[in-house]
Chains A and B, each alone.
Chain A
């Protein structure tokens, strides 16, 4: 009951942010040098054609009216038409979205299956081999440029060993290298956060109480350490979607993986500003929505927050 209320409250809170983001994206494109109408029309077009296009796009109206128009078209789900392809932007995005989602999911699965166990073990056994490996992995993930790691992986696995393909998305094997690259990025952060979260919970007082009761070590760890540590970890995992989106842009570009990340870069090089605008908007929207979802899950999981909400409503 109250969770729904919290959800609505969070959504309302996000609306001004969303509008701000829309404004920012809107200005982004308008600030660009060059005349968008001419760009669309092409360098050989006649002046009246350019003028016609300008009127079509409403580019001669005052700027605030343009913004309002922009917002209302967005609300209708119309992200405009791509300059390069001529097709609706939203179609382009939706067509390539599944690829990005697939890549993101596989990368996340890999990252979580490696990072969580390693993080937990290295927190429980500091100064051990596990701890060392974990540090190394987390440092690699956090300090190496992902485009470089991608190229190295390509060199080793595609060129030298000829084991895995390096570009495109024709077969399931094609997802391996890009997913590993992306997951390394995530792992860097996730191992560190997992480990520090567990360490922090380990040194908290309620764990001492649990030990003082005479509970078995395993029980203490499972009940009083991990469950408590998992709460912030899950929150961070949700926020990692931002890293996923950003990292996907580079990974998809290097591996020519046909997702929305590489679509953005293509759009940038085609100077297809409407497409650029649309993709950025889409990504921001996704990020905002995921943040809201994460907040709600967090509120559900932590009884303290649940009660604060109950009292607030």
Chain B
């Protein structure tokens, strides 16, 4: 299968007065054409930083310390500003989490979506309004002819999110990064948006990197899932297989919170997310792991292949690399 994106040993750190935040600390990831890859992680796992890096939108104080992000073979981290600009919005689209703050309140939504066309085709935004209307129809925004002239605050959360989606798909990109696109919405709207994304993926044959803390959501929509913890990936594999047979202890714990028998309460994972400035030595999950061994605090396992799955755990794989 054709690879659309290849992330190689990516490390992204932030320097703040309190120390260095290692938000992404050695991540290897592949995204294939037309697939939906889910990235699951709690807040503080570094997933948003990963999203921004993939989309070429990283800003200081975040810095790429090492690694490559190969989009169709080209390392976008090495590209100049102009080349990056031609990719943004056209080859790689991004959908953000909170439609309220990600839309400019003083311009109409039609104008803001039209800007995507203006950026890549030139001319005035106003001449693209009919295309914007078509886009709105595609993302199922009702009464699109009128809606293009409305301001963001006049729309509901779900509609604002559709506006953001239409912005992302306007130039039919080959990769869409969706950073928690449903987290700010009602559950019922969530389902609609997810459904919409699936359709878009099928229609445009575009790849989607779907980032969220909601593992249940991913299990429904994603083809493959990558589980992220404290800046590293702990497990990568096919969605259904991960659900049936989670290998990494963290994944196991996450899955167990999803399925529990009616009489028993879901057991939370003890402990709390580690600081990204001072992560625990060795395996980052070991302080909270129910299967912890003495080795775990000394060796930091790498992703290794275990029967079609990638896991970084000393218990399961050999933890020695080789994906």
Q: Which of B56-105 contact A (CB under 8 A)?
A: 57, 81, 85-90, 93-94, 96, 98, 101-105
Task: Verify A224–B90 contact, CB threshold 8 A.
Answer: no
Is B153 located at the chain interface by the 8 A CB criterion?
yes
Chain B residue at smallest Cβ distance from A231: B106
Q: Which residues of A contact B154 (CB under 8 A)?
A: 307
User: Which stretch (B22-30, B115-123, B243-251) binds chain A?
Assistant: B115-123
A224, chain B: closest CB distance, angstroms: 6
Is B310 located at the chain interface by the 8 A CB criterion?
no
Q: Which residues of B contact A212 (CB under 8 A)?
A: 55, 57, 88-89, 93-94, 96
A181 to B86, CA, bound (A): 49
Chain B residue at smallest Cβ distance from A209: B102
Q: Which of A185-214 contact B (CB under 8 A)?
A: 204-206, 208-214
Is A227 located at the chain interface by the 8 A CB criterion?
yes
A278 to B58, CA, bound (A): 59
A231 to B107, CA, bound (A): 14
Q: Which residues of A contact B120 (CB under 8 A)?
A: 214
Task: Verify B57–A211 contact, CB threshold 8 A.
Answer: yes
Task: Verify A209–B96 contact, CB threshold 8 A.
Answer: yes
Task: Verify A210–B104 contact, CB threshold 8 A.
Answer: yes
Is B167 located at the chain interface by the 8 A CB criterion?
yes
A20 to B113, CA, bound (A): 50
A223 to B118, CA, bound (A): 13
Q: Specify the main secondary structure of chain A where it touches its partner.
A: helix
Q: Which residue from A204, A209, A307 sits with its C-beta under 8 Å from B153?
A: A307
Decide yes or no: A304 and B98 within 8 Å by CB, A209-B103, A209-B167 being known contacts: no
Having A213-B119, A228-B104, one finds 15 other A-B pairs with CB under 8 Å, namely: A208-B102, A209-B104, A209-B164, A210-B104, A212-B55, A212-B94, A212-B96, A214-B89, A214-B120, A224-B104, A228-B105, A302-B105, A303-B106, A304-B105, A307-B151
28 A-B pairs within 8 Å (CB atoms) are namely: A205-B96, A205-B101, A206-B103, A206-B104, A208-B57, A209-B164, A210-B115, A211-B57, A211-B88, A212-B55, A212-B57, A212-B89, A213-B88, A213-B119, A213-B167, A214-B85, A215-B85, A215-B89, A216-B119, A217-B81, A219-B119, A224-B104, A231-B106, A302-B105, A302-B106, A303-B106, A304-B151, A304-B153
Chain A residues within CB distance 8 Å of chain B = 204-206, 208-217, 219, 223-224, 227-228, 231, 302-304, 307
